[in-house]
Amino acid sequence: MTSQDQLTAAQRTEALEQLLTERGLVDPKVMDGFIETYETKVGPLNGAKVVARAWVDPEYKQRLLQDGTAAIKELGFGGPQGEHIVVVENTPTVHNVTVCTLCSCYPWPVLGLPPSWYKDPAYRARIVREPRTVLAEMGLELDDDVEIIVRDSSSEVRWMVLPERPAGTEDFTEEELIPLITRDALVGVAKVTL
């Protein structure tokens, strides 16, 4: 999607909201509440904050890997679809990637709404059978000696990836690290880069 398409989509969204509001079908305060929820309370920014904290605080990282749900709640994130989150760490020799082969179970409190490709039957089937190929198609080339572990989310357990911290960020503050961390890295289909 180009920036022109994004601008057009934003304009269309605003026009639709205005039309629905004028016709009394949508309460602007309710819409503002939804927007604020997905901008500040639920979403990949929350996951990025969790990862950045783990990168700068070894004790928090240990708690996160031992009990993801509790450690995530320490930062104030939780709720529906976040009742049991297990966090797994990517290393130079092991790369985790998540999927929900049955539907689209996903840790909403830390990742927001699942992207359309995550729900796509082709991704759900292929990432299990041929993870290296699917990751390469998505732009992530991994060396042959890197073990890939596919984590299948369910209604009982939702997975989140603790990505590798990129070289050159050793002196970054927690706040400087947050913008580097993407939803795709938290799912495991990308790495965090500078």
Catalytic residue among 100, 153, 154, 155: 100
Q: What angle do CA 81, 108, 32 make, to 5 degrees?
A: 115
Q: How far apart are CA 89 and CA 96, in angstroms?
A: 7
- Is 116 catalytic? The answer is no
Name 97's bridge partners. 150
Would you call 155 a catalytic residue per the annotation? no
Q: Which of 103, 116, 154, 155 is catalytic?
A: 103
Residue 3 annotated as part of some ligand binding site: no
Q: Is 100 annotated in the active site?
A: yes
Establish whether 104 is an annotated binding residue.
yes
DSSP one-letter string for 153-189: --SS-EEEEEPPPPTT-TT--HHHHGGG--HHHHHTS
- Which residue out of 3, 105, 116, 154 is catalytically annotated? 105
Residue 100 assigned ligand-binding role: yes
Q: Which segments of the chain are extended strands (E)?
A: 85-89, 94-99, 147-152, 158-162
Residue 3 appears among annotated catalytic residues: no
Identified catalytic residue from 104, 116, 153, 155: 104
Residue 116 annotated as binding site:
no
> Would you list which residues are annotated within the binding site?
100, 103-105
Enumerate the active-site residues.
100, 103-105
> Would you list which residues are annotated within the binding site for Fe(3+)?
100, 103-105
